[in-house]
């Protein structure tokens, strides 16, 4: 399939997903508002409402981040930058874009970035199983 046809199909998928997320977020916000406005009876009810609000808020946050990534991908399509790696400027392979339609880096650059982050979190290069000696901890 030609790249322009592929990008057109991805755009349609992204627009559909954006619409779905927008509806879902609107529903989540209504539910959170209703939970907040509902009178709670006892401490158990209040605890359950607080937990439901926390979970609903977390879900809305995840959906909002995905929505932002989709909007960014649609902007990249409009500007002609879709499918180009932000780090190296090369083409992002179609298989990666199918798996992660809002990808902004090719797999090699994304892995390199993950390794850098991992090394930043673990500057001594220890495996996750490594236990420090008292001298190392000091």
pLDDT computed for residue 130 by the predictor: 47
Q: Which pLDDT score is estimated for 35?
A: 67
pLDDT at 33: 75
Q: 69-76: long-range contacts at Cβ-Cβ below 8 A with a sequence spacing of 24 or more?
A: 69/102, 70/14, 70/17, 70/18, 70/21, 70/101, 70/102, 71/18, 72/102, 72/104, 73/10, 73/14, 73/101, 73/102, 74/11, 74/14, 74/15, 74/18, 76/104
pTM (predicted TM-score)? 0.68
Task: Quote the Cα angle for 11-74-94, to 5°.
Answer: 55
Write the DSSP symbol of residue 116.
H
pLDDT, the chain, mean: 82
pLDDT at 138: 43
The number of folded domains in the chain is 1
**Could you tell me the residue range of the domain that residue 123 belongs to?**
3-137
- What pLDDT is attached to residue 38? 66
CA distance 9 to 11: 5
Quote the CA–CA distance of 52 and 54 in Å, as a whole number: 5
Q: Is 131 helix (H, G, I), strand (E, B) or coil?
A: coil
CA distances from 81 to 7, 70, 93 (A): 11, 14, 14
Give pLDDT, residue 58.
83
Q: What is the CATH number of the domain that holds 71?
A: 1.20.120.910
Residues of the chain under the 50 pLDDT cut: 128-134, 136-138
pLDDT value of residue 71: 95
**Predicted local distance difference test score (pLDDT) of residue 133:** 47
């Amino acid at each position: 399939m030609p790249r322009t046809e592929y990008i057109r199909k991805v755009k349609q998928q992204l627009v559909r997903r954006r619409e779905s997320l927008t509806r879902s977020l609107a529903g989540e916000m209504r539910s959170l508002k209703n939970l907040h406005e509902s009178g709670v009876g006892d401490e158990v009810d209040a605890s359950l409402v607080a937990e439901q609000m926390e979970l609903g808020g977390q879900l809305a946050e995840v959906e909002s981040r995905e929505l932002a990534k989709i909007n960014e991908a649609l902007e990249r399509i409009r500007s002609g930058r879709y499918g180009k790696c932000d780090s190296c400027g090369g083409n992002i392979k179609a298989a990666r874009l199918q798996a992660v339609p809002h990808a902004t880096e090719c797999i090699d650059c994304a892995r390199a970035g993950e390794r850098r982050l991992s090394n930043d979190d673990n500057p001594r290069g220890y495996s996750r199983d490594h236990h420090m000696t008292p001298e190392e901890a000091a």
